Amino acid sequence: MSKIAFVFAGQGSQYPGMGQSLYNSSKEARRLFEMADAIRPGTSQQCFSGTKEELTRTVNTQPCLYMVDLAAARALVERGVRPVAAAGFSLGEVAALTFAGAFDDEDGFRLVCRRGQLMEEAAAQHPGSMAAVLKLSNEAVEELCGRFREIFPVNYNSAGQLVVAGSVEEMPAFCQAVSEAGGRAKQLAVGGGFHSPYMDEASRQLGEVLQGMSMMEPAIPVYANLTADRYAGDLKGILASQVNHPVRWEKTVQRMVADGVDTFVEVGPGKTLSGLIRRIAPQAACWQVENEETLAAAVAALAE
């Protein structure tokens, strides 16, 4: 029997119209969106008909993505698909923890709303840039980062794909250095230097928010971006530190496979994580659920 893990999509995968099909077809998804609208009026409207520009703002992106991620996961459970483990990429980690029972739905949503605010404020105070580096080893990228005062490796996505963050002023010269080293760098359309020291204040304030919240042990293992291992020990500290530390996605997937996971279902908008998992663990089965069509396909395949 397959050992299934749900992996929750992160910031950058959002798009106008996301979640509406789930809202229309799943009782659980509808309940979640109604809950979000009661706490943050207009959330479902932003997901279903917000503009690309509106959804790109971190303060909007994070609550909207959280809702679609969690709605997709709950729609799967509604149809009989239950995972044995979970992980999420950056913002997706909050949805994964909520799904696993570390927070109730309302607290998880309030937390992610505050997280989005704090990260947007930090980005405004310390403007940053991000770039995806391809075709170089992690070690080569780390060495290049070391030549610059404020360029940091932040998202270890897969072999040959590492995202860096840091100074707006230094990023063009860094990208040129990548090209000269035989790699390719693509600057990303983001509003800040996420998962870098530029987010130190957001991390500190998020830690304060978490201290005032109840956080339970997850009912199933949730693998942390910070450690690439199961959440254990200082749960709140791990989650707060995630904001200003690298996402170790490649090692996270490798650890999940080593622990017996053989099937991954990406829940939420887009196929970014599915693509990375196929490169990291080509032996694993991989599905993606973001709407009624992909939900039905995944449920049918996983029932076989």
- Residues taking part in catalysis: 90, 195
Query: Are 99 and 76 in contact, with CB atoms under 8 Å apart?
Result: no
Strand partners of residue 164:
131, 153
List strands edge to edge, sheet with 263-267. 222-223, 85-88, 4-8, 263-267, 285-289
Taking only Cα atoms into account, the Rg of the chain, rounded to an integer number of angstroms, comes to: 18
The Cα 93–Cα 194 span in angstroms is 15
Q: Which amino acid is at 192?
A: G
Strand partners of residue 4:
263
The Cα 173–Cα 167 span in angstroms is 10
The Cα 302–Cα 114 span in angstroms is 36
Which own/partner contact pairs does 140-145 have at CB distance under 8 Å and 24+ positions apart? 140/181, 140/183, 141/178, 141/183, 144/174, 144/177, 144/178, 144/181, 145/174
Nearest to 184 by CA among 167, 160, 213, 154: 160
Continuous H helices in the chain: 20-25, 27-39, 43-49, 52-56, 58-78, 91-99, 105-125, 138-145, 171-180, 200-211, 235-242, 249-258, 272-280, 292-303
User: Running DSSP on this structure, what letter comes out for residue 243?
Assistant: T
